[in-house]
């Protein structure tokens, strides 16, 4: 029996594009769907019966940090990578249990974790990674307090970023991350919450530096993802060719026009601000950084509504740190206040797949796509809590049942 072969009988499965359910048996061979409406008759294949349940493509979270076992990101840099990997294994296994069969890590994960997942050493979602994020001196991934002068940017340290200044240096850093297999290059294009010396309203990197990184990523048929909150930071990044904006909480109307013009994506992550307000300090976020959270939380819901109404490509993201990772599915409930549930599901499946350059292969139930599925007890289009507050009764990845029991 091939472990990547599976037949899901009597499935009520969601056609993501149509936004409606189909009925039938789903056949997965060697990890991929071979047919979605034929009548498979073979008997040498494992079968599960999904009668009465609702079947969706496996979910994709486009903004995670699988190495962030603490919210105190500057402290992460002093941990042993081996120690961090043990935490990562736990965090990634939990993500899979929640139905996320694919994640995009946007600072921290590397080829070692990617390879371990592919080889089956590490139970977790498929991992798309960017290596270390590029930050200017004093930028969002510069971990130093004002009195500290040393930054360890060595390949093996656990810090999520590297500090680089100047066109030549950022170009070399981008090439270095691509050399190590990065699926995208992450840059810090504006201020952030969990960083010691920058302001939320700052822009970071010169236009020349951003343009150089975009050029390197595109040369390798990859793309740039930029951390940016304000309209000012977002708009200059989009104009410079950045394809993926992370957060975007303080975007303006011009941002919406630029997203459409460039067919760019925004990955918001309201849940992390909700969680940081609730629990950030007990998981290591400093008082000063905690106070920055309210600024971006207030803008987030308004920006989501603005982006949705404007027709911007929206992706599901969470950006949770430390013990707050357990709220990963709550983003569904927060977004449901302004976005129809089918469109939130698209943001976590088909639109996400387009962002990570795997359109038609991930986030969809169709011939040739990877056999990644979640089985839910109730209809998520009627009741978002089955996604937000419960776990799937079964999670299937490349035709293997990888989590079961709800």
Near Zn ion by CB under 5 A: residue from 177, 209, 216, 319: 319
Task: Output the residue with the shortest Cβ distance to Zn ion.
Answer: 227
**x/- track of binding to Zn ion for residues 213-252 (CB under 5 A):** --------------x-------------------------
Q: How far apart are CA 25 and CA 192, in angstroms?
A: 47
**How far apart are alpha carbons 234 and 247 in whole angstroms?**
10
Stretch that binds Zn ion, among 169-177, 289-297, 311-319, 374-382 (CB under 5 A): 311-319
CB 243 within 8 A of CB 312: no
- The nearer residue to Zn ion, 275 or 369, going by C-beta atoms, is 275
Kindly state the smallest distance separating residue 275's Cβ from Zn ion, in Å: 13
Q: In angstroms, what is the minimal distance from the CB of 353 to Zn ion?
A: 20
Range in contact with Zn ion (rule: CB under 5 A) among 30-38, 273-281, 312-320, 343-351: 312-320
Task: Convert 352-387 into a string of H (helix), E (strand) and C (coil).
Answer: HHHHCCCECCECCCCCCCECCEEEECCCCCCCCHHH
Q: Is 61 in the site for Zn ion (CB under 5 A)?
A: no
Alpha-carbon distance 32 to 393, whole Å?
21
CB contact at 8 A, 51 and 260: no
Looking at beta carbons only, is 40 or 130 nearer to Zn ion?
A: 130
Cβ distance to Zn ion smaller for residue 50 or 73? 73
Q: Measured from the CB of residue 50, what is the shortest distance to Zn ion in angstroms?
A: 35
Count Cβ atoms below 10 Å from residue 42 Cβ, excluding itself: 10
- Report the 10 Å Cβ neighbour count for 13: 23
Question: Which is nearer to Zn ion, 347 or 397 (by Cβ)?
Answer: 347
**Cβ closest to Zn ion, residue 26 vs residue 226:** 226
Identify which of residues 8 and 348 has a Cβ nearer to Zn ion in the complex. Answer: 348
If you compute the radius of gyration of the chain from its CA atoms, what whole number of angstroms results?
20
Strands (DSSP E) contained in 41-89 are 47-49, 54-57, 59-64
- Footprint of Zn ion (CB under 5 A): 227, 319
């Amino acid at each position: 029996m091939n472990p990547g072969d599976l037949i899901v009988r009597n499935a009520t499965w969601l056609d993501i594009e149509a936004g409606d359910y189909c009925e039938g048996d789903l056949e997965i061979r060697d990890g991929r769907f071979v047919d979605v409406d034929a009548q498979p008759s073979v008997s040498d294949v494992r079968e599960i019966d999904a009668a009465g349940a609702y079947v969706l493509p496996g979910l994709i979270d486009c903004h995670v940090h699988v190495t962030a076992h603490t919210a105190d990101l500057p402290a992460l840099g002093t941990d042993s990578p081996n120690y961090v990997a043990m935490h990562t294994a736990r965090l990634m296994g939990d993500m899979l249990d929640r139905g996320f069969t694919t994640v995009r890590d946007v600072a921290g994960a590397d080829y070692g974790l990617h390879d371990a997942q592919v080889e089956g050493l590490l139970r977790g979602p498929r991992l798309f990674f960017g290596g270390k994020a590029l930050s200017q001196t004093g930028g969002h991934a510069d971990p130093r307090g004002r009195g500290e002068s040393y930054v360890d940017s060595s390949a093996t340290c656990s810090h999520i970023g590297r500090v680089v200044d100047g066109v030549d240096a950022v170009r070399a850093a981008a090439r270095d991350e691509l050399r190590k297999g990065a699926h995208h290059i992450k840059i810090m294009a504006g201020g952030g919450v969990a960083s010691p010396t920058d302001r939320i309203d700052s822009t970071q990197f010169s236009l020349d530096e951003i343009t150089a990184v975009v050029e390197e990523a595109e040369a390798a048929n990859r793309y740039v993802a930029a951390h940016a909150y304000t309209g000012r930071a977002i708009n200059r990044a989009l104009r410079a060719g950045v394809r993926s904006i992370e957060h975007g909480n303080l975007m303006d109307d011009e941002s919406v026009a630029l997203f459409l013009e460039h067919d760019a994506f925004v990955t918001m992550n309201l849940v992390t601000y909700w969680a940081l307000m609730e629990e950030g300090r007990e998981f290591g976020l400093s008082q000063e950084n905690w106070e920055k959270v309210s600024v971006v939380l207030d803008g987030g819901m308004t920006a989501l509504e603005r982006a949705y109404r404007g027709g911007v490509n929206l992706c599901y993201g969470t950006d949770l740190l430390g013990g707050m990772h357990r709220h990963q599915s709550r983003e569904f409930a927060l977004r449901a206040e302004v976005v129809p549930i089918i469109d939130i599901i698209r943001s976590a499946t088909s639109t996400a797949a387009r962002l990570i350059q795997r359109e038609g292969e991930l986030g969809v139930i169709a011939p040739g796509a990877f056999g990644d599925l979640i089985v839910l007890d109730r209809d998520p289009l009627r009741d978002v809590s089955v996604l937000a507050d419960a776990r799937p009764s079964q999670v299937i990845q490349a035709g293997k049942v990888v989590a079961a029991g709800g």
